[in-house]
Structure 1
Amino acid sequence: MSTVFNFTFVPWFRSVAPYIHTHRGKTFVVALAGEAIAAGKLQNIAQDLALIQSMGIKIVLVHGFRPQVNEQLAAKGHEARYSHGIRITDEVALDSAQEAAGQLRYEIEAAFSQGLPNTPMAGSTVRVISGNFITARPVGVVDGVDFKHSGLVRKVDAVGIRRTLDFGAMVLMSPFGFSPTGEAFNLTMEEVATSVAISIQADKLIFLTEIPGIRIDSELPESEDNPIDTELPLAAAEKLLASLPPPQKPTDTAFYLQHCVKACKGGVERNHILPFALDGALLLEVYVHDGVGTMVIDEKLESLREATVDDIGGILQLIEPFERDGTLVKRDRTEIERDVGHYTVIEHDGVIFGCAALYPYPEAKTAEMAALTVSPQSQSQGDGERILKRIEHRAKAMGLESIFVLTTRTMHWFLKRGFQQVNPDWLPEARKRKYNWDRKSQVLVKKI
């Protein structure tokens, strides 16, 4: 039993360790839907946040309270009213919101104060600090609707939040803001989290939500292994958002996506939509390669792009050392000139630091990813994974179901990223005829 555990734990821990190292010292804004607390998920989420913080990540936690406010309103015999996806906050709703926020703040602080034995929080000390970090203004009257005490973020005290994080505390924020005259405004959790993430230039904005993520192609059958897109480039997310009606409720596709896009355009490079229903969703998204939700990513289109004829010299210079030592099969300039449209490159300051080519076999609904190369100067910075993701998106856009690689030395890199080894006989007939049996390359396949 112990031996089996060792064989599973050690590879797992080794695969997680690079992410622990990468995220140390980073700042995450985590937006927790009030529905998660109503569903009894707070204790486990608090444990996961404490665990993440213990590994050197600075956390701003913004909680929502939609169902809690509605519960207070119902107890008072008052109806919850919304328009444009925003609560209309009259005097009764404002009182209900203040009561709900106070109760939730108490519950959240209590959850972080429990150093429970036999849990990830055993012996932990998590300081939670709240404050008046948000200056607000009224929504006002929109399309004839008076939103009364509903507000929008006017200003974020980014310096105050940063100082609190540097002190080693977790910052807790309710969706409330105050005007310079002291008037209270009910804000949306999503807008507060997004505004804070942009203001402090957080490394990640993470929404823990009612939905599992975003799926671009709604025609795909629900039974597919991966019903959501785990990564959406900003351009694809904007295109999808433009095709959707304005969101009215949190389960609408555009509801959280619009905030991820806004944050991405505001300088927050990675923005996540995760399901709170999945236990450990935060840990799986942050420390596992493929994650469990949807990440909207600003992939810096000027650096990660399809190749042009002007890149041929840079591609040759990049792959030549790897051809010389036998890692890559030798390709001549004529072949690369002919196939340059198949290549994706990463460019930094005019220099090609990474590339890969995609050769489709439509009849077999697959494609070969060839010549995946990252400069030694840029390795361990995630460029190989970024190229792989772009190649997967290109293949998916062609209607293909898988990609495959042939490799002699880098099999484990691909296995860690979801590829599975198959017999060379699996190859499409056209590719099998060109397979070099003397080289004995391993064939690995990944479903997309």
Structure 2
Amino acid sequence: MDTRFPFVDWFRNSSPYINAHRGRTFVILIEGEAMARGRGEQLIQDLALLHTLGVRLVVVFGIRPQVQQALDEAAIVPGLHQGRWIADAPVMACIERVAAEQRLWLEARLSLGLPNTPMHGVELTAVSGNLVMAKPLGVREGVDFDRSGEVRRVRASAIEGLLEKGSLVVLPPLGFSSTGEVFDLNASDVAQHAAMALGADKLILLGEASGLFDASGQLQRQLTPAEAEPLLRQAAPGSELSRHLEAACAAARHGVARTHLLSWHDHDALLGELFTRDGVGTMITQHRYEQLRPAELADIGGLLELLEPLERRGMLVPRSRERLEHEIDDYLVIDRDGMIIGCAALHGFGDAEMGELACVAVHDDYRGGSRGELLLAEIERRARRIGLSALFALTTHTTHWFFEHGFRLADIDSLPPLRRDTYNHARKSKILVKSLG
């Protein structure tokens, strides 16, 4: 294959996602550290690209490091409780000033359309305003939080109206009360409530970490809220991890389909997560995007695409579309975000107490992740449910894999009569049997 232009191949593979994201609503949180460390320009270019691809964007920005710098310069030491600043009048004055400066800077950069820049010719209308209503935290554990607040509601209809007009909505970490006060809010709290109020398709949290990792240091690609909450309980109160996990779990439980935890340190994280099948960070979702399920007729095209390379190499017996359609109820598939990456079939033989484990296949790009074992375990459960006492398999290439999973060599006489009569002697497949007792 000609690889002089690897971007072209990537662009072709990203086209399903370009189509899927068009017209969708994404709420994106950019933590203040990203702006403070000079990552703002690149992220704004990525936002402009998403806008041109038809994504409806709500951008929430954090200001914690910028406010901390302003407080240091003013020799103001804020009170701190439960991981939150106590926003008295001097602290709040710094917060309001920094929020205004950051909002103006962001809107100015979103207006950039100079020649020889990635945003040349892109017209973005960035709109902010009193779109988040807030209430005070009040007195907690004997501590008066003054003008530190929490989100009361997001004016979803107003934001929807702006998005319908093609505007990009910018939300600072501030909220307004019905009495005309301004409150300091957590940016992640604003992003979470905006995503829930809008029924956003995605909530994207750009922070320090590249995602969530298990005890061995392995990146966790996907977790449910229930799986993520133990990590939330272990996180330090007020830490970025705590704020992001709380937002992600709450959003997932309140209708936001997918929340993505990404690192702003990675220049490719935002686009890599959105336009590649595997992504680069951790996704929190109530519904797994890789699932093992019974096959459907709509999966035939995906099955043919999965099996064809293995049939060409002689690892599997060729199966026609008609045969797959006829036997579709025998198949299980692993569906990864709409792509069939694995399958296996259980064929029965009338009154025989043995079933055939057939067509076990996993896409080359997804081997080594225990997917074969997952398919086998489910086939065994299905076999037991219908009263089978043993499985058999025929293979020319993967004998040792079957040995490792409890199969033993057998002769042709151990096969059910119907399968014995159709055995292809020219292929010389090994016969393997596993008891389900």
- Give yes or no for TM over 0.5: yes
Q: How does 1:195-206 map to 2 (within 5 A)?
A: 195-206=193-204
The CA deviation at 1:167 is 0.6
Q: How does 1:82-231 map to 2 (within 5 A)?
A: 82-215=80-213, 217-220=214-217, 227-231=218-222
- Number of the residue aligned with 2:401: 428
- Number of the residue aligned with 1:279: 267
The CA deviation at 1:316 is 11
1:101–1:306: structure 2 CA closer, same or farther, 3 Å change rule?
A: same
Q: Distance in 2 between matches of 1:113 and 1:326?
A: 56
**Deviation digits for residues 91-122 of structure 1 (CA, Å, limit 9, x no counterpart):** 11100001100110111012111113333212
The CA deviation at 1:355 is 8.7
Pick one of 237, 250, 272 that aligns with 2:228.
Answer: 237
Alignment root-mean-square deviation, CA: 4.1
The CA deviation at 1:433 is 8.5
The CA deviation at 1:428 is 3.2
The CA deviation at 1:396 is 10
- Is the Cα–Cα contact under 8 Å of residues 80 and 86 in structure 2 kept in the other structure? yes
Identical residues among aligned pairs (%): 34
Greater radius of gyration (CA): 2
**Deviation digits for residues 181-204 of structure 1 (CA, Å, limit 9, x no counterpart):** 101101110000000000000000
**Deviation digits for residues 111-136 of structure 1 (CA, Å, limit 9, x no counterpart):** 11111333321211111001101111
- Is the Cα–Cα contact under 8 Å of residues 234 and 299 in structure 1 kept in the other structure? no
1:300–1:282: structure 2 CA closer, same or farther, 3 Å change rule?
A: closer
- Number of the residue aligned with 2:40: 42
Which SS does the other structure have where 1:177 is aligned? strand
Q: How does 1:334-345 map to 2 (within 5 A)?
A: none
The CA deviation at 1:11 is 1.8
Gaps of 5+ in 2: 305-318, 347-357, 376-395, 410-423, 430-437
Letter in 2 for 1:186: D
Q: Distance in 2 between matches of 1:395 and 1:90?
A: 59
The CA deviation at 1:318 is 8.2
- Number of the residue aligned with 2:72: 74
The CA deviation at 1:356 is 4.5
Single out whichever of 321-330 and 12-21 deviates more from structure 2: 321-330
- With normalisation by structure 2, the TM-score equals 0.71
- Is the Cα–Cα contact under 8 Å of residues 26 and 55 in structure 2 kept in the other structure? yes
The CA deviation at 1:241 is 3.3
Tell me, yes or no, if structure 1 residue 270 matches structure 2 residue 261. no
Tell me, yes or no, if structure 1 residue 370 matches structure 2 residue 360. yes
1:156–1:11: structure 2 CA closer, same or farther, 3 Å change rule?
A: same
Q: Distance in 2 between matches of 1:104 and 1:28?
A: 21
Which SS does the other structure have where 2:57 is aligned? strand
1:119–1:231: structure 2 CA closer, same or farther, 3 Å change rule?
A: farther
Q: Distance in 2 between matches of 1:161 and 1:396?
A: 47
Which SS does the other structure have where 2:265 is aligned? coil
Which SS does the other structure have where 1:5 is aligned? coil
Q: Distance in 2 between matches of 1:236 and 1:372?
A: 26
Single out whichever of 280-289 and 165-174 deviates more from structure 2: 280-289
1:39–1:138: structure 2 CA closer, same or farther, 3 Å change rule?
A: same
The CA deviation at 1:5 is 2.8
Letter in 1 for 2:206: L
Q: Distance in 2 between matches of 1:369 and 1:84?
A: 56
- Is the Cα–Cα contact under 8 Å of residues 135 and 177 in structure 2 kept in the other structure? yes
- Number of the residue aligned with 1:349: none
- Is the Cα–Cα contact under 8 Å of residues 62 and 172 in structure 2 kept in the other structure? yes
- Number of the residue aligned with 1:249: 239
- Number of the residue aligned with 1:15: 13
- With normalisation by structure 1, the TM-score equals 0.69
The CA deviation at 1:256 is 1.0
Q: Distance in 1 between matches of 2:102 and 2:93?
A: 14
Single out whichever of 324-333 and 149-158 deviates more from structure 2: 324-333
- Is the Cα–Cα contact under 8 Å of residues 149 and 184 in structure 1 kept in the other structure? yes
Q: Distance in 2 between matches of 1:136 and 1:88?
A: 16
Q: Distance in 2 between matches of 1:14 and 1:129?
A: 33
Pick one of 251, 276, 279 that aligns with 1:291.
Answer: 279
- Number of the residue aligned with 1:365: none
How many residues were matched structurally?
Answer: 359
1:258–1:369: structure 2 CA closer, same or farther, 3 Å change rule?
A: farther
Q: Distance in 2 between matches of 1:369 and 1:235?
A: 34
The CA deviation at 1:299 is 0.6
Q: Distance in 1 between matches of 2:151 and 2:134?
A: 5
Q: Distance in 2 between matches of 1:114 and 1:155?
A: 32
**Deviation digits for residues 48-72 of structure 1 (CA, Å, limit 9, x no counterpart):** 0000110000000000000011111
